[in-house]
Structure formats: structure tokens, C-alpha cells
Homo-oligomer: A and B are copies of this chain.
């Protein structure tokens, strides 16, 4: 297992948040956190963070439900990251892609904070990044965590699991809550409340 760097970037360190896009990414897994994090970083540049999206080669991706999104960067030109966010969706190809898994293991040595939404955590598990850690994922994929790594302590009922330098979230819409948790962690609860107000996040599920 590789050693994770400090999770709090110091002054002068990069404060960039990169959201990975890939063919099959679930739309809201990526765009929910993007809304939260781009709202935060663009409204409060004084906090020193920026956010962008990237795909492996910088090409547009076709999401799991058919939306086509063009990332800001490729994996090679995305700014040095303080936080990586790995969404889920149809992650089967990524989990079978040794090159992607090796890239993730490399990120573990240089990115202070790895985060995931939904089945993004299955890819982390496959890469060995959740060894002997608590973690969660989409409700219908919980078994996949221990199939990939039996040492993972599955937290089935948590909306997100913050294990210091790794934060995993439950499915799809849970990425919004996890991203607000990130804002709270990186910039404090008052800021997180301002962002929540900004996106008028007072959910009222009708059913």
C-alpha cells in the first residue's frame, strides 16, 4: 500500500479539485458535485480553490444516460490536484483497465484527498486504495466493495464516509451531500451553508 500525502494543502500548494469524467459516468454523480464545487470556488475565490473536469485524453465523454460533456482538461494537463473526485456509473471498463488502476495508485502518492461518488469507490477498491478502510458505495453495489477487497469495512447506511484522506459517498445524488461536506471540511461550515443556500438545497422529495 502506498502512503498518502497530507490532506491539507499548505500555502503555495495547489488547491485544485479535479472531477474525472469517463464514458459511462453517471450524469448526476459528476454534475451534482460540480455544481457545489464550482459554485463555491467561483463565488469565493478568496478561499484559494479552483475546480475543473477532466477525462483521460481530454475528449468529450458520453455519460451513462446519454448526455455528452466536454471536459476542461485531459489527465495530462489537469492542474496538480489537492482533491480528486471519482464519480461512478458504469465503471466496469475502468475497473478492468490496468492502466487506469495504476494511474489511480499513482494519484494516491501525490493527491492529498481522494473522493468518490457511487460506484467510483469500486474502482478505488479494485486499485487497492480502500484496504482495511471504511467505505460506502451505491446501495445496489455494496457487495462489489468486498468482492474487490474483503478487507473493506462496508458502511451500508452512511451517506458518505470520511476516512481522512479518502472520502467515499453513496449513490448518485449522495455526491451533492458529500461535496457540501468537502466545502465544510476545506472552508468551514459557514461557507458550506452559503453554498447550500446558493443552490437552494432544501430538498423536498415528493415521494
Contacts and interface: CB of A to CB of B under 8 A. Distances in A.
Interface residues of A, number: 48
A68 B173 CA distance: 21
A16 to B, nearest CB: 14
A26 B181 CA distance: 21
Contact of A204 (B28, B159, B197): B159
A26 B198 CA distance: 12
A180 interface: yes
A200 B65 contact: no
Interface stretch (A103-111, A144-152, A188-196): A188-196
A139 B198 CA distance: 9
Q: For the complex formed by this chain, how many copies does it contain in all?
A: 2
A84 interface: no
B201 A205 contact: yes
Contact of A69 (B67, B138, B177, B202): B67
A5 to B, nearest CB: 25
A53 B69 contact: no
27 contacts: A27-B31, A27-B38, A28-B31, A28-B32, A31-B31, A31-B32, A32-B32, A60-B70, A69-B69, A118-B200, A138-B200, A139-B197, A159-B204, A171-B200, A172-B200, A173-B200, A173-B202, A173-B203, A174-B200, A174-B202, A177-B203, A180-B205, A192-B206, A192-B207, A196-B207, A201-B205, A203-B203
Shortest 4 CB-CB distances between A and B: which pairs? A171-B200, A38-B65, A28-B35, A203-B203
Interface of A: 26-28, 31-32, 34-35, 38-39, 42, 53, 60, 65-70, 72, 118, 138-139, 159, 170-174, 176-177, 180-181, 184, 189, 192-193, 196-207
